[in-house]
Structure 1
Amino acid sequence: MGTIDVRPAEPRDHDDVAALHQREWGGPYVVVHDTRYDLRTLPTLVAVDDAGGFAGALAYRLADGGLEVVSLAATAAARGAGSALLAAAEAVALAAGADRLWLVTTNDNLGALRFYQRRGLRIVAVDAGAVDRARQVKPSIPYLGEDDIPLHDELVLERRLAAGRRP
């Protein structure tokens, strides 16, 4: 595994980020906690490998004293892009004076639950039926998720950030 650098997205990243969002979410729109987001309008960090290749992206929003990770996706698993992006998002949160880093994932996303909990995020809420409601806004959301797990609920994960703590 080589080094991963993270930087704010630039216009030259548009095609790579758009292709990643198409692969992961079926396009630039995600529906989470009853809100439809256009990922193209959110601040985005990109991960670049040591050869200069695009390795992933994280779209976020700063609101209510926290940084919400709205989308995190890597081009390949277990190469460090997700970890580097999450650490960079924490640095952005701390610089903005945010006291928490948080996100929402779905009940079927066992890989994400493992990934985030290993990085100190904890499940703080379950919104039963949230994905069923989201399907009304975005009908392309499947009924079966990873491992053929019925897709119904959102799980909120969060890590509190200590003032002055570095990622």
Structure 2
Amino acid sequence: MTPADKPEVTRLLVREWGAVEVVALALGGLVDASALPGWLAERDGEVAGLLTYRTIGTSADLVTINAFAGGGVGAGLLAALVDDLRRTGGTRLTVTTTNDNTRALRFYQRAGFRLAALRVDAVAEARRIKPGIPELGDDGIPIRDEIELVMEVR
């Protein structure tokens, strides 16, 4: 992404996440995803996906990832991040999702992430910071807990 992409990144984050701010206890609370580095994927001149991340030393946090088209867009975005981390000496990639997000849990584990932590009832605290977080996920599963997954990048 470049600074010129910021309006589109902002629009997409608000559409997909309800705001540019993402909240997770693992991230230390509220993070402005629009201010982070990342990638926009394009297909046929249209935005097909967005990924944002942050680095701390040799570790990175995958903050947001959205694929708006199938056909491996999410996997391609993740591969770009992993390749960049390898190139720059990164050793570890962490992502946090919620217990209801079964599609993401499948995606991350297939990509090589391992379950690392469960923060029971963490979403209650997240809702105090960002009240718009819904009570139920897409499959009618109550959104309660944060699940952290880790990939060793070598």
TM-score by length of 1: 0.85
Structure 2 counterpart of 1:68, from 38, 48, 61: 61
Contact 2:13 2:34 in 1 (8 A): no
Contact 2:29 2:129 in 1 (8 A): no
Residue 24 of structure 1 deviates from its aligned partner by: 1.6
Please list, as runs of the form range in 1=range in 2, the aligned pairs for 1:31-110 lying within 5 A after superposition: 31-33=23-25, 34-49=28-43, 51-76=44-69, 78-110=70-102
Residue 153 of structure 1 deviates from its aligned partner by: 0.5
Find the counterpart in structure 2 of residue 132 from structure 1. Answer: 124
Inter-CA distance 38–52: structure 2 relative to 1 (3 Å threshold): same
Contact 1:67 1:101 in 2 (8 A): yes
User: Secondary structure of 1:146's match?
Assistant: coil
CA distance in 2, matches of 1:84, 1:29: 24
Contact 1:16 1:54 in 2 (8 A): no
Figure out how many residues of one structure are paired with residues of the other and give that number: 152
Across the aligned residues of Structure 1 and Structure 2, the Cα RMSD in angstroms comes to 1.4
| Greater Cα shift, 105-114 or 40-49 | 40-49
Identity, % of aligned pairs?
41
Gaps of 5+ in 2: none
Residue 41 of structure 1 deviates from its aligned partner by: 1.1
Task: Give the letter aligned to residue 129 of structure 1.
Answer: D
| Greater Cα shift, 80-89 or 14-23 | 14-23
Contact 1:45 1:59 in 2 (8 A): yes
TM-score by length of 2: 0.92
Residue 64 of structure 1 deviates from its aligned partner by: 4.4
CA distance in 2, matches of 1:133, 1:95: 36
Contact 2:39 2:77 in 1 (8 A): yes
CA distance in 2, matches of 1:122, 1:107: 15
CA distance in 2, matches of 1:136, 1:96: 36
Segments of 4+ in structure 1 off by > 3 A? Answer: none
